[in-house]
Structure 1
Amino acid sequence: MTTDTAPAPQAPRAPKKRKPRPQDRAQNAQGPKSQPQGKQPQPQPQGKQPQPQGRQAPAPQGQQRTARKPHPTLEILFGLYPDFFGARFLPLQRGVFQALLEKHPDVLKKDELKVALALHTRSTKYLERVAAGDKRHGLDGQPVEDVAPEHVHHAILEVFKRRQARTGDDLRPQTRKRIVEAFEKSGLSREDYLALVRSQDPAVNELTDEAFAELSAQTARREALQRAFAASGKTVAEFAEMYGLDPREVGRMLPKS
């Protein structure tokens, strides 16, 4: 005798696992994404835009550079002597400090005058006039004496250093030329001149030596041209044409009769 029995219930099937995709495996290996500490974006204040890198925001008003105000005593001196302390600069007589105190004892104060004169005589405009070889002038506006050769020389080099620091051009050639001109105007021998102008700055001495080396080369060239001209028996124009030279240059290099 058979007995019908109900089929045993089947256990529910486990859900089929999805095969992980390559990008899922990469993400699981890296872990959950999170914002690095200290790198949280900061909200920008309203009305302000972030400044691009490499540029600085303009300085607030009130922090802008203003023109330097002249020393009060220099303003007094300008009123008393506009030819010396105004747009026109001239080398001052030696002893000008004492002369000013004696002429204006009620207006000028000793300590303030000392500072003002130091500022004035160290200015580039003043040194440029000294370097040019202008004569020293008295308070009456009349020339009184030449500037000493060593003062001219040192002014030339100081002006060179200041201007060279502000430009990309090489100012050495024109400075060497000015040194040679100052030497020739001094009337001193080379040895005496160099003894006066030697400095403790090696760079300054090097520039001076370069100027005198150029002078030696020019002198040798001039002497060779003079000997060649004397032996040629030709006129200046003929000699210049023969050597392809400017007649005016030849005339300058020949001794004056």
Structure 2
Amino acid sequence: MTSTTLDAAAQDATPTPATQPTAPNEQSSKPGRSPSVQPVLEKLFELYPQLFGAEFLPLKLGIFQELLALHPEQFQRDSLKLALGQHTRSTRYLQSVAAGKPRHDLQGAAVEPVAPEHIHFALLELFRRRQGRSQADLRPKLRAQLISAFEASGLPRQDYVARVQMKDEGANALLEQAFAELDQKLAKQEALRSAFNSSGKTPEEFADMYGMDPREVLWALHQAPSQPVPAAHHQADEPQSDLS
């Protein structure tokens, strides 16, 4: 993923917020960091620990201007912009965005959802960083995460794709692969529901007949809103996923 993509992914706070802010008086030894940024990060941590402390929460749009207006003697435009840019490009911040946590104001209140495209870009950037450190193929996990993000968006597929498509053809190909897996999954669920409806069996009997976990059958039946499921099974758990 390009740096331009990452900037778009984290265009969250209005420029973008900071790498892990160290506690006050703790000096950073990371090379290449602007000398003017660390004091700003420490001040943000001091003033708003609920946003810049133990947990990095997605920041509301326009928070850059609010900080400048509220703290004209504490922050200068250029150094604050750099600090927020570093913060929103940090792994911890991107993890909160990728998890779909809402944007928060300076009081720590949730005020608006993160745009689907920002969640999508955050997932891709986290994948890029993790894959660079791992010999394992992390693409299957990413594809599952991309589909979860799509489903959580509530958007029609065409609208979702229009919002998240990038110039990076590799990233677009990963999304296409994820949708192909989703289509296969939906087709299997539909085939299972059709076979179940024709069987005249209870979910337990049907599962036993095909050597399946009864929970898998119940979960597939629950995916069809009009599908009647025996009342005794309405609280069945969805099968556990290894993609957490």
TM over 0.5: yes
Report what 1:67 is aligned to.
29
Shift of 1:194: 0.8
CA distance in 1: counterparts of 2:109 and 2:53, whole angstroms: 17
Deviations 1:4-41 (A, max 9, x none): xxxxxxxxxxxxxxxxxxxxxxxxxxxxxxxxxxxxxx
Confirm or deny that 1:153 pairs with 2:115.
no
CA distance in 2: counterparts of 1:192 and 1:214, whole angstroms: 19
Any residues of structure 2 matched to 1:1-257 within 5 Å, and which? Answer: 67-68=29-30, 71-254=38-221, 255-256=224-225, 257=228
CA distance in 2: counterparts of 1:87 and 1:141, whole angstroms: 13
CA distance in 1: counterparts of 2:119 and 2:169, whole angstroms: 19
Shift of 1:87: 2.1
Shift of 1:110: 1.1
CA distance in 2: counterparts of 1:74 and 1:204, whole angstroms: 32
CA distance in 2: counterparts of 1:196 and 1:184, whole angstroms: 14
Give the TM-score, by structure 2 length: 0.76
Shift of 1:106: 1.4
Shift of 1:217: 0.3
Deviations 1:101-133 (A, max 9, x none): 111111111111000000000111111110110
Shift of 1:176: 0.4
Shift of 1:233: 1.2
Shift of 1:67: 2.9
Shift of 1:203: 1.0
What RMSD over aligned residues (CA atoms) do the two structures have, in Å? 1.3
User: Higher helix fraction: Structure 1 or Structure 2?
Assistant: 2
Deviations 1:193-233 (A, max 9, x none): 11111111111111111101100000000000111111111
Unaligned runs of 5+ in 1: 1-65
Shift of 1:234: 0.9
Unaligned runs of 5+ in 2: 1-27, 229-244
Taking every aligned residue pair, what percent have the same amino acid on both sides?
54
Deviations 1:33-83 (A, max 9, x none): xxxxxxxxxxxxxxxxxxxxxxxxxxxxxxxxx832762100110000112
CA distance in 1: counterparts of 2:134 and 2:48, whole angstroms: 33
Shift of 1:84: 1.3
